[in-house]
Amino acid sequence: MRLTILYDNTVYRAGAGLMARWGFSCLVETGRRRILFDTGGDGQVLLSNMAALDVSPGDIDVVVVSHEHWDHAGGLPSLLERKPDVRVYRLKRPSSPAAETITVEEPCRIVDDVFSTGRLSGSPVDEQSLVLRCGKQWYVLTGCSHPGVAAILEAAGKHGHVDGIIGGLHGFDSYELLDGMMLVCPTHCTQHVDGIRRRYPGRYITGGVGRVIHLER
């Protein structure tokens, strides 16, 4: 399974024609399916980064929107102009959906090996995260972690032991929750990146646009 960060506050691959903006988007490739998790805040930046990373909007099978803040859902209209028939999983059904929209409440399967935690209560907004199965290992992909990392890991842990987490963690500093993990990649809104990097020097992975993470079985 391969993850590619398409939209983030920083650029990982400098000089590759990639742009950093506040927001998050990550492509999940299972080998059979391509799932776009979040769409960043600016559709043109998203599409530009996708082109630079050789990702075609027409190849996206499913879009999952973690929550309804602009910096995670703002790029969706531009993507739908290029891929109007894509299936979208989100927590709020738009008044005039331009694509097949599935409103997520309960935990559900998105595609093989990719699951939603379902709606988790958060402040100021509710959120869903993705749970990724790679062989016997499980990973979590988050947007901003508004429900709290503990609640997200509890929901994801119903599938199995969580071996890694990727995505925005906001003000999370209960580092002991990550002690049993093999991989930690804080992105976007994470406030305590330095603290996480110092505590997990062998497991910390730098994020940013263009970062590719291979999840091994």
Domain boundaries, the chain: 2-214
Count CA atoms within 13 Å of residue 7 on its CB side.
28
Q: What residues contact 179, with CB distance under 8 A and at least 6 apart?
A: none
Q: Which residue type does 62 have?
A: V
Q: How many CB atoms lie within 10 A of CB 135?
A: 10
The pLDDT of residue 14 is 82
Cα(29)–Cα(66) distance, integer angstroms: 17
The pLDDT of residue 137 is 96
The pLDDT of residue 43 is 98
| Assigned CATH topology for domain 2-214 | Metallo-beta-lactamase; Chain A (3.60.15)
The pLDDT of residue 132 is 98
Cα(8)–Cα(58) distance, integer angstroms: 22
Angle subtended at Cα 142 by Cα 165 and Cα 45, rounded to the nearest 5 degrees: 120
3-class SS at 100? strand
Q: What residues contact 54, with CB distance under 8 A and at least 6 apart?
A: none
Cα(46)–Cα(65) distance, integer angstroms: 14
Q: With contact defined as beta carbons under 8 Å apart, do 86 and 79 qualify?
A: yes
Cα(45)–Cα(90) distance, integer angstroms: 21
List per-residue pLDDT tens for the chain, 217 residues long: 999 999 999 999 888 899 999 999 999 999 999 999 999 999 999 999 999 999 999 999 999 999 999 999 999 999 999 999 999 999 987 765 667 899 999 999 999 999 999 999 999 999 999 999 999 999 999 999 999 999 999 999 999 999 999 999 999 999 999 999 999 999 999 999 999 999 999 999 999 999 999 997 6
- Look up tokens 């595609």; give the residue: 111
Q: Which residue type does 86 have?
A: V
